[in-house]
Amino acid sequence: MTEKNILETPPVAKKEPKKLSIHDDTRIDNYYWLNQRENQEVIDYLNAENAYTKQVMNHTESFQNTLFEEMKSRIKQDDTTVPYKLNGYWYKTRYEKDKDYPVYVRTKETIEAEEEILFDCNKMAADHTYFKLGGIAISPDNKLAAFTTDTVSRRQYTIQIKNLVTGEVLDDKIMNTTGSVTWANDNKTLFYAIKDDVTLRSHKIFKHILGTGAEEDVEVFHETDDTYNTFVYKSKSRKYIVIGSSSTLSTEYRVLSADDPDGEFQVFQERQKDLEYSIAHYNGYFYIMSNSDGATNFKLSKTDEHHTGINNWVDVIPHREDVLLEDIEIFKDYLVVNERENGLNKLRIISWDGKEDYYVSFNSETYTTYIGNNPDFNSHTLRYVYNSLTTPSSVIDYDLKTKQSEVKKEQEVLGGKFDKNNYDSTRIWATARDGVKIPISLVYKKGISLDGTNPLLQYAYGSYGSTIDPSFSTIRLSLLDRGFIYAIAHIRGGEYLGRDWYENGKLLTKKNTFHDFIDCSKYLIEQKYTSEEHLYAYGGSAGGLLMGAIINMNPELYNGILAAVPFVDVVTTMLDDTIPLTTGEYDEWGNPNNQEYYNYMKSYSPYDNIEAKAYPNMMVTTGLHDSQVQYWEPAKWVAKLRDLKTDSNLLLLYTDMDSGHGGASGRFESLKEIAMEYAFLLDLEGIDA
């Protein structure tokens, strides 16, 4: 492929037909060869696609730079997080002007004390195109910090240990971990999870003794079921080391006294099919959030710490049909419960002495609130976060005794142009084809007319029970200020309206997710928020699957599509148990080795359902080192679309050759890809400034 051809015409991937057969059914995959990451021909093809994207978008380069600088200008560059207290020290993270990475610091006893720099990630990242500090775990005596780093973007972290007294990084080095480390109470024993070299499934927990080689580490748990992942942490009470195992629909925990790291872990409650639970320790009891006894929306129980089996669990907050129990936070004198009712977050405060039980009040229909970082067990202060589609994020400290709130920090939007009073947000309800009401959160600049001419970007995710709450974004302002409406469709597959909302958007009901999104699009058009000529859709990862499905089903509804790291080759991926995530996700998508699931999956898999017809304008992005959705899925998808589509609309593929699922690691570098995506949308609308 010559340079001249690359720049004048779209790349054309060669066809090498491969037969994929199962259940007496054969699929022909002409682009299977693209899954060879080390093959230079594959790299050349991806580079050719990048060159073509650059050429097509060349006339927007100045605009992209304008958007980038605009987004960057809203960010407070010399920013600092609100400090939190843990074990006698105040910890905070700060950013410095024109630097991409955070600096982690602490002060002793008071916030005003002399600052101690723990890690300057700008220095640590200097020799790497990608850098991520995964986690920091401070030893109980405050003298050591275990830290983890990833320089490839495959989420395979290396553990090292820093002596905070001398500043020396010790010789201990442990490779291929999940990025999380847990100290026992003896200040010398560490627990961590490692990943399978091929599938990247976290499958083993090891114990490391300070000063010894990693080869001497002792395996304390092996998760042999390849549908489960394992992890380890310490209870907030600091009394227990906890090993967890989780699949999509089942969990199991093991506990060990943090004072006895050489002891034997005891099973808390053995795994059962469809039993999900999580545990927190307080004052001689474990508190358990679970879906036991048919508690679809979860309930809270407790049990004596020495009798942990399910037969001993006693309800504290029973199951409710209309309220989803999402999270709890335990303090010495209070229990805080994060609930969701009718799609809205609620914070419930319960005193252990039984005298108080009330909700923190919020007065909006498009807000988001959640429990923040509260590591201090003895505190009387609840830290939570609040924001909305029009209101920047605030970190709020709520005094549980006096019931007084203090805004510790409101996100600053720099540039001098932002005024939250210039924007409106609302929640509307579309009716899906089966009669179910689907909520949509909207934000837009005040004064728009509902005449069908507004450009609108519709976003959703719709998988894994992950709820997309209506939250604030400084980046999004670049669209809103240019006339775009932004819509979040709270479709089935998430948990916005409770656990049933998730259950009715997965496995053999997965198509509800796609139908909901399409029916929301039709409603937005019907209500004249936008029209087919001005409607755009965006989704990433499993939301990229959503994009692939909707354009196969109703391509005529959309003028443009943004698909980020899209999971589009569903059948082939779910049949390959060597790919990261596959086996652990059978409960989400189904196991296609079962013919019923295979047939259903094949009926919606975007890659398998491309037809010779017109498709919208599309920009597809991915990362060469993506560990969640392998780069070849979007690459194959684009290649097949190029071959079959009958339109002359744009089809662009951009591969970040240095990063993975989350994109670039620097806080500003990642904005460049967003600026390119926004320029793509705005250019389709004829907006160039």
CATH code at position 441: 3.40.50.1820
Q: Is the pLDDT of residue 84 over 80?
A: yes
Asked if the structure places residue 619 within a domain, the reply is: yes
Report the pLDDT value the prediction gives residue 227, as an integer from 0 to 100. Answer: 87
Per mean pLDDT, which range of 38-52, 153-167, 643-657 is the poorest?
A: 153-167
Angle at 376 between CA 372 and CA 378, to 5 degrees: 125
Q: Is the pLDDT of residue 586 over 60?
A: yes
Provide the token pair at 435.
């009669």
Report the distance separating Cα 192 and Cα 205, nearest Å: 6
Percent of all residues in the chain with a pLDDT value above 90, rounded to a whole number: 85
Q: Is the pLDDT of residue 139 over 80?
A: yes
Amino acid present at 353:
D
Q: What is the mean pLDDT of residues 63-73?
A: 96
Q: How confident is the model at residue 149 (pLDDT cuts 50, 70, 90)?
A: very high
Provide the token pair at 149.
């780093």
Q: How would you class 378 by CB atoms within 10 Å of its CB: exposed for 0-12, middle for 13-18, buried for 19 or more?
A: exposed
CA–CA distances in Å: residue 85 to residues 141, 287, 416: 15, 24, 33
Q: Is the pLDDT of residue 674 over 90?
A: yes
Asked whether the beta carbons of 46 and 655 are under 8 A apart, the reply is: yes
HSE at residue 211, side-chain half, CA atoms within 13 A, is 2
Best CA proximity match to 50, nearest among 660, 664, 655, 476 = 655
Asked if the structure places residue 454 within a domain, the reply is: yes
Asked if the structure places residue 217 within a domain, the reply is: no
Asked if the structure places residue 506 within a domain, the reply is: yes
Report the pLDDT value the prediction gives residue 78, as an integer from 0 to 100. Answer: 84
Q: Is the pLDDT of residue 664 over 60?
A: no
Which letter does DSSP use for residue 245 in this model?
A: E
Per mean pLDDT, which range of 57-66, 436-445, 470-479, 570-579 is the poorest?
A: 570-579
Percent of all residues in the chain with a pLDDT value above 70, rounded to a whole number: 97
Best CA proximity match to 119, nearest among 100, 133, 129 = 133
Which letter does DSSP use for residue 199 in this model?
A: T
Report the pLDDT value the prediction gives residue 684, as an integer from 0 to 100. Answer: 98
Q: Is the pLDDT of residue 5 over 60?
A: no
Q: What is the mean pLDDT of residues 136-158?
A: 91
Asked whether the beta carbons of 364 and 388 are under 8 A apart, the reply is: yes
Which letter does DSSP use for residue 418 in this model?
A: -
Asked if the structure places residue 527 within a domain, the reply is: yes
Domain residue limits at 601: 3-72+416-684
Report the distance separating Cα 192 and Cα 208, nearest Å: 8
Length of the chain: 689
Amino acid present at 300:
L
Asked if the structure places residue 565 within a domain, the reply is: yes
- 150-198 per-position pLDDT tens digit: 988 778 899 999 999 999 999 999 998 988 899 999 999 999 999 988 8
Report the pLDDT value the prediction gives residue 599, as an integer from 0 to 100. Answer: 98
The interaxial angle of helices 669-684 and 61-73, nearest 10 deg, is: 120
Report the pLDDT value the prediction gives residue 581, as an integer from 0 to 100. Answer: 61
Q: How would you class 98 by CB atoms within 10 Å of its CB: exposed for 0-12, middle for 13-18, buried for 19 or more?
A: exposed
Pairing mode of beta strands 560-564, 617-623: parallel
Report the distance separating Cα 475 and Cα 7, nearest Å: 31
Best CA proximity match to 188, nearest among 141, 232, 231, 243 = 141
Instruction: Tell me the pLDDT of the chain averaged across its residues.
Output: 93
Per mean pLDDT, which range of 176-180, 363-367, 493-497 is the poorest?
A: 363-367
Q: Which of 130-144, 351-365, 529-543 has the highest mean pLDDT?
A: 529-543
Query: What value does the CA radius of gyration of the chain take, rounded to a whole number of Å?
Result: 26
- 253-308 per-position pLDDT tens digit: 999 999 999 999 999 999 999 999 999 999 999 999 999 999 999 999 999 999 99
Asked if the structure places residue 530 within a domain, the reply is: yes
Amino acid present at 640:
K
Domain total for the chain? 1
- 104-120 per-position pLDDT tens digit: 999 999 999 999 999 99
Q: What is the mean pLDDT of residues 196-222?
A: 93
Residue positions annotated with a catalytic role: 541, 626, 661
Report the pLDDT value the prediction gives residue 248, as an integer from 0 to 100. Answer: 82
With b for 16 or more beta-carbon neighbours within 10 A and e for fewer, the 425-438 pattern comes to: bebbebebeeebeb
Q: What is the mean pLDDT of residues 440-463?
A: 97
Q: How confident is the model at residue 658 (pLDDT cuts 50, 70, 90)?
A: confident
Asked if the structure places residue 78 within a domain, the reply is: no
Q: Is the pLDDT of residue 580 over 80?
A: no
Q: Is the pLDDT of residue 662 over 60?
A: no
Amino acid present at 375:
P
Give the pTM.
Answer: 0.84
Q: Is the pLDDT of residue 478 over 60?
A: yes
Best CA proximity match to 207, nearest among 265, 164, 168, 165 = 265
Report the pLDDT value the prediction gives residue 361, as an integer from 0 to 100. Answer: 84
